Amino acid sequence: MKSLKQEIQRRRTFAIISHPDAGKTTLTEKLLLFGGAIHVAGAVKSNKIKKTATSDWMEIEKQRGISVATSVMGFEYDDHKINILDTPGHQDFAEDTFRTLTAVDSVIIVVDVAKGVEAQTRKLMEVCRMRHTPVMIFVNKMDREGKDPFDILDELEDELQIAVRPLSWPIDMGDRFRGVYNLFQQSLDLYQPSKQVVTESVNLDILSPELEKHIGVELSEKLRDDVELITEVYPEFQRDEYLAGKMAPVFFGSALNNFGVKELLDCFVEIAPSPREVQAEERVVDPYEEAFSGFIFKIHANMDPNHRSCIAFVKVCSGKFERNVNYKHVRYNRMMKFSSPTAFMAQKKEIMDEAYAGDIVGLPDNGNFKIGDTLTSGEELHFKGLPSFSPEMFKYIENADPMKSKQLQKGVEQLMDEGVAQLFTNQFNGRRIIGTVGQLQFEVIQYRLLHEYGAQCRWDPINLYKACWIESDDAEQLADFKKRKYQYMAHDKEGRDVFLAESSYILMMAQQDFKNIRFHFNSEF
């Protein structure tokens, strides 16, 4: 039996983030393959296997070939328990990804060698920087033509504003790609294009004449020069710098062809942090405390369409979670126990008896949870930093099938609880408005309402610029504001006042004219 401390120390919980199409889901697959969690990679290209990746299991994801919900997967590797959160890369689902980053201890960023750093990656890096989350970078698709590796390193430093240090180095690229030299373990990994076989690695010193036998004279000289340059230009890799979020180790490879992934994983389990302290509003929570605590960072409606069930994902922050033990739901101030908490392997889930700090537990939810809720062994704790941002796109939602208004009502409520979009009710005409951060969300909501709840909705246009939550200590001015703007006042699902501004000019004027009112652009205030 391992002690509580040993169990927690062997946990590695991380998210994989990137721009769409950089190969994030493929990398997740290959990590699961090495962990023995799946036995054949659902190589997205092969028709023999069902044409889907393990971590994309929602119907709409299979049709579109993009990830729209964060998947949670756990597996054992080399005496470590690894929890991967595969996040959507598409910017319309950025909010889901921002929230996921509050539940992980480190991050792997995937960058496409041809496209370099893209806008979405930059945004996600800001969130990591804000939270001092340690970051590793995997430069993917080395088997295609792309930018020069040194240029990629410069770009990473400029765009992500972080010091980088290559821990593996590519030998040529595209059709001429021969492999990588692993600087972390000082071995040569030779590349054979194959989606199933893992390539051989040769332990040899870079100065030894053996090198020429493997990659020829010209490439050997270039590799020696490159490595010499790396040691001169880039600082030595220091784990403390990486853990403080100041330095990012960089690996090169091809996830689709299984290449460079194992090196990434081996280095990752060695240097990545085990669960870290979490800042609650009351105090700092240490993962090694005996008492259990955790928070809900995601709610997923309809994991199983046959049962209409919602699942709340809990990140365990401290101690040990046990099945059928009473825990306190802080917001309700009442004790609850859970008879069937689940652990995940994408959609396959199994009942678990215990979980430790760093693990992600799925709890069946019948409307008891909201994102940000805390569960503890009894202490009053509130974990902060799970905001809802102000949406940027708005539409009226109308029922297209009067016979199904109950189903629509229920569907909208459950989908809004997932936190992917927000519902506002206009106080003037009682119409319901859905706000999202991207156009694709409307399609996903419409699709899921129809296929999961049997409800049809249609969208009516509305011209709005921003939704802001408002509050004031000056009751008279607040009442005056609401009276003047009554056509543009709404309530969010918690019943709070929201001002729907039609343009940036109107919002600016409102802020100038009503000095005592505070306008908030996210729901945490």
What would the pLDDT profile of 113-156 be if each residue is shown by its tens digit? 988 888 778 877 877 887 788 999 999 988 888 898 999 999 99
Q: What one-letter code names the amino acid at 140?
A: N
Position 306 scores a pLDDT of 54
Share of the chain above pLDDT 70, in %: 82
CATH of the domain at 46: 3.40.50.300
Tokens linked to 128: 């990591």
pLDDT, one tens digit per residue, over 30-39 is 887 776 655 4
Position 201 scores a pLDDT of 66
- Angstrom distance (rounded) from CA 454 to CA 401: 10
Say if residue 443 is in the same domain as residue 359. Answer: no
CATH of the domain at 483: 3.30.70.3280
Say if residue 337 is in the same domain as residue 466. Answer: no
Count of domains forming the chain: 3
**Is position 430 within any domain?**
yes
- For the entire predicted model, the pTM comes to 0.74
Say if residue 153 is in the same domain as residue 81. Answer: yes
Say if residue 444 is in the same domain as residue 371. Answer: no
Domain that holds residue 25: 11-179+235-271
Say if residue 161 is in the same domain as residue 260. Answer: yes
| Cβ–Cβ under 8 Å, residues 341 and 355 | yes
pLDDT at residue 267 is higher than 80:
yes
pLDDT, one tens digit per residue, over 390-444 is 677 899 999 988 888 899 998 888 888 766 688 999 988 899 999 887 777 788 7
Say if residue 96 is in the same domain as residue 175. Answer: yes
pLDDT, one tens digit per residue, over 318-333 is 888 998 899 989 888 8
Angle (nearest 5°) at CA 490 between 487 and 495: 150
Say if residue 30 is in the same domain as residue 157. Answer: yes
Pick the closest to residue 504 from 403, 415, 390, 414 (CA basis).
390
Mean pLDDT of the chain: 80
Last residue of a domain, one of 318, 342, 376: 376
pLDDT at residue 488 is higher than 50:
yes
pLDDT, one tens digit per residue, over 176-187 is 888 888 887 777
- Angstrom distance (rounded) from CA 380 to CA 331: 9
- Angstrom distance (rounded) from CA 458 to CA 449: 11
pLDDT at residue 209 is higher than 90:
no
